[in-house]
Structure 1
Amino acid sequence: MRTHGLTLLSLLLLAVLMLLVEAKKEGRKRHGSKASTEESHALGKPGKEPRSQPAKHLIKGKFVTPDHADCRWAVTKQEEGLVLKVECTQQDNTFSCFFTGNPTSCLELHKSSVYWKQIGRNLRSQKVICGDAKSVLKTRVCRKKFPESNLKLVNSTLIRIKKPSQKLMEPSPMDTVEVTTSSNPEKTQTMTTKGPQCEDEDLENQRKAAQEYCGEVWGSLCRFFLSMVQGSSC
């Protein structure tokens, strides 16, 4: 009887142990399936599209021009090279311009802080900021070996397309009048507008004949008749 009881007890203990092992396995399976489910949910969620963030400025600064314009400048990166934008305010006017260049090769050999410091100094020294189409920002550290590092003006709100200037018509020689003045007033000559006087000899003879034969009273009448008969060249 004792042997039979011990056998039953050992079988019960073995069954309990097997149940415990199975319970642990089920717990592990459930935990693993839950984790995989959560992971699948996380992967299955449609990802939010990243918002287009504004371009970050690599470097920026501000300065005041000699004609008292408050300006700000900032540099952004593009596919090839960099873009430097300048925005200025002068009294009630606001204007801007863009410079482009590619200092990448130069900045690999030299400090970027030195390069941008010289660019900012060049900006401040511009006589007409954003107003010269041939404006170029150069640096001592790069311009000799790396000419592509120079920043050239490519667009400006101050520069418009100018029509070719028309040539001024030069005055013709007939329109030019030369005026000469004499320092000595005694030598100045006055121009007369009177026409040439008539000096016909026949007319003088008629006057003399009329005075001799007709007298002073009838002289004019006699001269009239004589002029009709003889005629006059004047």
Structure 2
Amino acid sequence: MRTLTACLLLVFTGLQVSPSRGAYSQLGRVIRIRNKGGKFSIQGGMQCTWGAREVSDSVVLTVKCENPRAHVEGGITEITCDYRARPQSCPGFVSDPRAFWKQLGRALKRLQGKVCREERALVKPAMCKRAPREAHFKLDLSSSVASAQSGDPTAFPGTTACSSRAEYCSSSWASVCSFFFSILQGDDC
């Protein structure tokens, strides 16, 4: 009878939660956040990547978005920010961490124009909808940084197709010469 009690005591202590370490133990199984991340795109042609890392008892989700077209056209070229949460307080995270990270990627994509901009927009994986508020990723405004570049670079005055046609074609053959130049170079004039 004593050995049965001792065995049951060991089993129950193995199921204990260790919130100070930021991970849960289930019969010796510890959930760690290692190299979790993904890619998604948002409105305006921004290509985003995200990665998660463990910081003390919480998880920091870093999001970085780049817009390659903005380097030429102008506008916001890069946005970087951090979201913080304690996903360990979500039962879904504890039971199926792989599904949690997939759903987190989908939740980030659903935010679209609110990524790194709206503090009130929480990142909630579907399995944690009813979890405590601390389980949802909230934007850390102090970490949000946006870089912009002015657009429309000034065009250098140079030769156009029209000016090169005028140089090569004399007035008597201008129509025939223009026809051949339009075939070879395209019709810019």
What's the TM-score once normalised by structure 2's chain length?
0.50
Larger radius of gyration: 1
Greater percentage in strand = 2
What's the TM-score once normalised by structure 1's chain length?
0.41
